[in-house]
Structures are given as structure tokens and as C-alpha cells.
């Protein structure tokens, strides 16, 4: 079922995949609209079972799951955290919020993922964490990243906002770092509007994560009957997702194979029709290495120049189709520059950011709509 939008083919459109509304109704009738109740627990169990992670906790957003990571790692002012420049603000901001200095790594020109060859050179005595982002749900080179980080005693936190149900060398994304953050924001394959999850692979972090997520209290232990009252036992904040949203989320999570199959169909259709056209014109398409099973989160083109990208966005817009750019490089943002970012220091991020356009990609995109997008792109004179 499609819900209303105000553009012919928007960049994203919300849709229902199963029993989301029925489950939301249930939360109200059984009086469970706060957090960590039946539907949150179902989400936790599903993520833990499918991914094989020791603990999954739904959160108010991926941003908040990343903030929890910074608190769990006890990031302090002066600590350094390495993030790719080509990412969303939250990857860096969550750690900057604790006073960390952000060290920007450039990305690989093929996958647009953190360039693992630069990693060792960016590590200093102050480095506490590296945050690889699996861009578009295509895995970073995790063997190498984990090897280098482990060698230097640096924590790996995966920003897996795009990559739920993607794999690297047969292993789920989100299971390589001691911690990983998921997003269920409206643009993601599986959504509840605004939401996220923290995946905890290092079991030693579970108890503190429960406290941090519950406003610094041992409320989770109280609910398990392990203490007879709960109290303020550490620092924390309010990162618990309402069960109203968890109900929506579970309605999608329980049919995740069908959603992933649909995304794969959409991605493959774009790729079959646009890759030959793009290749003839020196325009780039997503690169998915053979050892990566991607999550089919987005389809993008890398145009030959900024002007060409802007012209394509304008042409699509004139036909009622919304294509969007992605990521202004963080090292050139006002905050990034205050942290030492300079023009030219992450050349691949700068160049790709100017040239990349994301095409409409959402679960209810129909073949007819996709044909419209493909025709509009193919009629563009680069």
C-alpha cells in the first residue's frame, strides 16, 4: 500500500509491507506504548537471531546508537576518532559531542568506503576508535580494517546505517566491530520513520549499554527482577524507542527477506538499464566487489562533473522526478575545517560528492515509475 506524496516520483515514499498498523493498534489496546515492551523485545530477538549478535537494542535513531557507542567507549576530550569524510554528520558528531577530535579519512574511489590503505597512517597514540561506514550497504574491507585497528588497540564501531542484511565475505555487516549502529529512518530499506538499533558484539559492554540507554539507571535490571528498585547508577540518556514505533518496525522486520528481495529487484532493474548507458558515456555506477553481498540500499550515478550532475538533477526535476546528491564532505564543513580539514586533503570524497546523484529508490517504486526514471536519465545529453 502506497501513502500520499506531493511529487510524481519522489526520492522516497513511505509504504506498508505487512501488519504494521495492526501491531500499532495492538500496542494501544494492550497498553504498551512506552519502550522495551512486547514489540521492542520482538525486534531485539529477531535481530539477535538473524544476525547472531549477542545483544541488539532498538534506539530512537542511528545517531543516538552512535552516541551510545561514544559513551560506551568512554570517549574523552582530546581522544581521536577516525571517520570517513564522505559520510553523514552523525558518524562524526556522536564522537565530537564527547570532545573527540575527528580525523578524516578519504574513501576508496570504487566503493566510496573508508580507504583501508590510509588507516594505519592516520592512527596516533590518541586514537580510540575508527568508524567505517558501509556506504550504500556495500561492505568496507573489514578484514584489513579490523586487523589494523586490533594491532593498534583501536575500537571498531561500524556505522551500518545503510547495510542491514548486507554481508562481507559471507558475514553480516554489523558483526565485525565491538559495536555497530543501524538506522530505521524513513529512507532505509526497513523503517519506522525515525529509529535505530545498537548491535553489541562485545558482551562486556551489554550491562553499561542498558544503563546508558535507560537514562543512567538500572531500570533494565529492575524489570528483570534483578534489583528491587532502580536508581541512578551512571551517566546516560533517553535512547529507548517507543513500542508504537517498534510495532511498526517489527511489522517490517518480520518480512525482511521479502523487502530485501524487492530492493534487489529495484536495484538490478536500474543497473541493467543504466550501466551500459553510463559506461558508454564515462559515467560511474555503483561498484560491488565479488566478496560483498550488498543490502541494495541505493542506486547512484557518478556524473563526469558537478555541472553535469546539477544539470541531470534539474532535468529529472522538470519531469517530476527527485534525484538527490549525497554527502557534503565533512572535512570541508565549518566544524570539519575547525578540526583541521582542508580543501584537497580528502580528494576522492570531494570529487565524488560533487558528481554523485542518487535515484529514487524505495520499496513501493513500481516498474512503470522506474521506467520513467530510466527514460529521463537516458534522454539526458551529458
Ligand X SMILES: Cc1ncc(COP(=O)(O)O)c(C=O)c1O
Least distance (Å) from ligand X to the CB of residue 14?
Answer: 15
3-class DSSP state of 324: strand
3-state helix, strand, coil in the chain (%, to 5): 40, 15, 40
Q: Which of 117, 113, 120, 64 is closest to 93 using CA atoms? A: 64
Beta partners for 357?
A: 301
Q: Which of 178, 145, 144, 196 is closest to 70 using CA atoms? A: 178
Q: Does 189 bind ligand X (CB under 6 A)?
A: no
The CA distance from 74 to 51, in Å, is 26
- The region of 41-49, 83-91, 116-124, 275-283 touching ligand X under the rule CB under 6 A is 83-91
Nearer to ligand X, 324 or 374 (CB): 324
Least distance (Å) from ligand X to the CB of residue 64?
Answer: 7
Nearer to ligand X, 148 or 164 (CB): 164
Q: Does 161 bind ligand X (CB under 6 A)?
A: yes
Q: Does 244 bind ligand X (CB under 6 A)?
A: no
Pairing of strands 196-200, 55-59: antiparallel
Write each residue from 104 to 143 as x if it is in contact with ligand X (CB under 6 A), else as -, in one continuous string. -----------------------------x----------
DSSP notation for 132-179:
-B-GGGPPP-HHHHHHHHHHTT-EEEEE-SS-TT-EETTEETTSSSSE
Q: Does 159 bind ligand X (CB under 6 A)?
A: yes
The number of residues that bind ligand X (CB under 6 A) is: 13
Nearer to ligand X, 278 or 356 (CB): 356
Nearer to ligand X, 88 or 270 (CB): 88
User: Which residue among 88, 168, 270, 380 contacts ligand X (CB under 6 A)?
Assistant: 88
- The region of 8-16, 87-95, 264-272, 312-320 touching ligand X under the rule CB under 6 A is 87-95
Q: Which residues contact 90 (CB under 8 A, 6 or more apart)?
A: 61, 62, 63, 66, 159
Q: Does 62 bind ligand X (CB under 6 A)?
A: yes
- The region of 88-96, 163-171, 276-284, 337-345 touching ligand X under the rule CB under 6 A is 88-96
- The region of 84-92, 210-218, 273-281, 330-338 touching ligand X under the rule CB under 6 A is 84-92
CA 361 to chain CA centroid, nearest Å: 15
Pairing of strands 155-159, 179-183: parallel
User: Which residue among 27, 32, 63, 294 contacts ligand X (CB under 6 A)?
Assistant: 63
φ, ψ (nearest 5 deg) of residue 104: -90, 125
Question: What residues from 263 to 282 belong to the interface with ligand X (CB under 6 A)?
Answer: none
Nearer to ligand X, 213 or 219 (CB): 213
Q: Does 196 bind ligand X (CB under 6 A)?
A: yes
φ, ψ (nearest 5 deg) of residue 275: -65, -50
336 and 104 Cβ atoms separated by less than 8 Å: yes
Q: Which residues contact 315 (CB under 8 A, 6 or more apart)?
A: 376, 379, 380
Least distance (Å) from ligand X to the CB of residue 140?
Answer: 12
Q: Does 87 bind ligand X (CB under 6 A)?
A: yes
278 and 124 Cβ atoms separated by less than 8 Å: no
Residues in the site for ligand X, rule: CB under 6 A?
61-63, 87-88, 90-91, 133, 159, 161, 183, 185, 196
Amino acid at each position: 500500500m502506497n501513502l500520499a506524496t506531493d511529487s510524481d516520483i519522489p526520492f522516497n515514499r513511505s509504504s506498508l509491507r505487512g501488519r504494521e498498523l495492526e501491531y500499532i493498534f495492538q500496542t494501544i489496546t494492550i497498553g504498551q506504548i512506552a519502550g522495551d515492551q512486547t514489540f521492542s523485545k520482538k525486534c531485539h530477538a529477531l535481530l539477535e537471531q538473524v544476525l547472531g549478535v549477542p545483544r541488539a537494542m532498538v534506539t530512537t535513531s542511528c545517531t543516538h546508537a552512535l552516541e551510545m557507542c561514544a559513551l560506551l567507549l568512554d570517549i574523552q576530550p582530546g581522544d581521536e576518532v577516525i571517520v570517513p569524510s564522505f559520510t553523514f554528520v552523525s558518524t562524526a558528531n556522536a564522537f565530537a559531542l564527547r570532545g573527540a577530535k575527528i580525523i578524516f579519512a578519504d574513501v576508496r574511489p570504487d566503493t566510496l568506503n573508508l580507504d583501508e590503505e590510509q588507516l594505519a597512517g592516520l592512527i596516533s597514540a590518541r586514537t580510540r576508535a575508527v568508524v567505517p561506514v558501509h556506504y550504500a550497504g556495500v561492505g568496507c574491507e573489514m578484514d584489513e580494517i579490523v586487523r589494523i585497528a586490533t594491532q593498534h588497540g583501536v575500537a571498531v564501531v561500524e556505522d551500518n546505517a545503510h547495510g542491514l542484511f548486507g554481508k562481507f565475505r559471507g558475514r553480516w555487516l554489523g558483526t565485525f566491530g565491538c559495536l555497530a549502529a543501524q538506522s530505521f529512518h524513513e529512507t532505509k530499506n526497513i523503517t519506522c520513520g525515525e529509529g535505530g538499533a545498537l548491535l553489541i558484539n562485545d558482551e562486556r559492554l551489554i550491562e553499561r549499554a542498558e544503563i546508558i540507554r535507560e537514562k543512567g539507571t538500572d531500570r533494565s535490571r529492575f524489570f528483570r527482577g534483578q534489583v528491587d528498585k532502580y536508581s541512578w547508577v551512571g551517566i546516560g540518556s533517553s535512547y529507548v524507542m517507543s513500542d508504537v514505533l517498534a510495532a511498526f518496525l517489527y511489522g517490517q522486520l518480520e518480512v525482511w527477506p521479502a523487502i530485501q528481495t524487492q530492493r534487489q529487484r529495484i536495484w538490478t532493474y536500474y543497473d541493467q538499464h543504466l550501466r551500459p548507458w553510463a559506461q558508454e558515456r564515462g559515467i560511474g555506477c555503483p561498484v560491488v566487489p565479488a566478496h560483498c553481498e550488498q543490502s541494495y540500499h541505493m542506486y547512484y550515478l557518478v556524473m563526469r562533473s558537478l555541472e553535469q550532475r546539477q544539470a541531470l538533477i534539474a532535468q529529472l526535476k522538470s519531469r517530476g522526478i527527485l534525484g538527490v546528491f549525497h554527502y557534503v564532505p565533512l572535512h570541508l564543513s565549518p566544524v570539519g575545517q575547525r578540526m583541521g580539514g582542508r580543501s584537497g586533503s580528502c580528494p576522492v570524497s570531494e570529487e565524488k560528492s560533487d558528481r554523485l546523484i542518487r535515484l529514487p529508490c524505495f520499496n513501493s517504486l513500481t516498474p512503470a515509475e522506474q521506467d520513467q526514471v530510466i527514460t529521463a536519465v537516458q534522454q539526458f545529453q551529458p
